[in-house]
Amino acid sequence: MSSQPIEIKGSKKSIFLDKVKKLLPEGGNLNLCLTCGACSSGCPATGLENMDPRKFLRMAALGMDEEIMSTPWVWMCTMCTRCIYVCPMKIDIPQLVFNARNSWPREERPKGIMGSCDMALKNDTCSAMGTPENDFRFVVEDVLEEYQEAQPEFKDMQAPINKEGAEFFLNQNSREPVTEPDEMVPLWKILHLVGADWTYGTKGWAAENYCMFLADNESWEHIVRVKAKAVDDLKNKVWLNTE
């Protein structure tokens, strides 16, 4: 954990604190924090950029808007919510992080996350790799045929696409069909062996949502709605997201 002291600059009213208080439990009382450090002890981002969850929370409680809204540490948080799980007061630090991210001008946010979000918005596959519907279908059918022929014990294995009424609508990591197509097969085998009734959709098949990590609420919602509509259109019962 960092040993650097917090420097309080000025005494102006905190706009940031007023905004996030509405989203926190117990009326947004950040003074619930016991400064026990449990949040920092298990955080994979502790120590990066001279920051950790406990320090970040105390800076928010002290109204240090400028520091909170400018530290690149907010982009290193994985949003794993481990800090909430171990916090005895259940303070939602990731919500604070998300709102700090949202305060950044969009063009100044990390280019990798922003690029993946923008790519996912290009078509209804929602793929962060920009994979169109026909390419996804081709890869799935080609890989399936290869394994059916190479492994006779799985000659009857299927990887359905756009199957109406299937119980499970399966999402897939965007990268795998493009760079690691063989990585899709183990899950197919499991679903085959247990007799699951499942399908991919040519629309909304990509599992991740980088727009969420970008704190782009409008784009995040758009991606979710496209995926939800794909599930509804196929009349599937369960949306199974592998991410």
- Residue pLDDT, tens place only, 98-113: 989 999 999 999 999 9
85 lies in the same domain as 201: no
25 lies in the same domain as 63: yes
From the list 202, 192, 205, the residue with the least C-alpha distance to 242 is: 205
94 lies in the same domain as 134: no
153 lies in the same domain as 232: yes
Is residue 19 one of the residues assigned to a domain?
Answer: yes
**pLDDT exceeds 80 at position 153:** yes
49 lies in the same domain as 88: yes
Is residue 10 one of the residues assigned to a domain?
Answer: no
Confidence band for 166, pLDDT divided at 50, 70 and 90: very high
Residue where one domain finishes, among candidates 49, 82, 104: 104
Instruction: Indicate the SS3 state at residue 44.
Output: coil
Confidence band for 16, pLDDT divided at 50, 70 and 90: low
199 lies in the same domain as 135: yes
- What value does the mean pLDDT of the chain take? 90
Q: Which amino acid belongs to residue 141?
A: E
135 lies in the same domain as 233: yes
The CATH number covering residue 81 comes to 1.10.1060.10
Range of the domain at 176: 111-240
What's the confidence (pLDDT) of residue 202?
97
118 lies in the same domain as 142: yes
Is residue 2 one of the residues assigned to a domain?
Answer: no
- In percent, the amount of the chain with pLDDT more than 70 equals 88
38 lies in the same domain as 70: yes
Is residue 5 one of the residues assigned to a domain?
Answer: no
Residue where one domain finishes, among candidates 104, 120, 151: 104
Q: Between the CA of residue 202 and those of 72, 78, 110, 182, 191, what are the distances in Å?
A: 36, 29, 29, 19, 19
**pLDDT exceeds 60 at position 200:** yes
Is residue 4 one of the residues assigned to a domain?
Answer: no
Cα Rg, the chain, nearest whole Å: 22
d(CA 69, CA 106): 13
Is residue 206 one of the residues assigned to a domain?
Answer: yes
Is residue 195 one of the residues assigned to a domain?
Answer: yes
From the list 241, 157, 148, 146, the residue with the least C-alpha distance to 200 is: 241
**pLDDT exceeds 50 at position 207:** yes
Confidence band for 135, pLDDT divided at 50, 70 and 90: very high
Is residue 201 one of the residues assigned to a domain?
Answer: yes
53 lies in the same domain as 77: yes
Confidence band for 120, pLDDT divided at 50, 70 and 90: very high
What's the confidence (pLDDT) of residue 92?
85
Residue where one domain finishes, among candidates 104, 125, 146: 104
118 lies in the same domain as 34: no
Is the four-CA dihedral 60, 65, 67, 72 of positive or negative sign?
positive
Confidence band for 10, pLDDT divided at 50, 70 and 90: very low
How many structural domains is the chain composed of?
2
68 lies in the same domain as 156: no
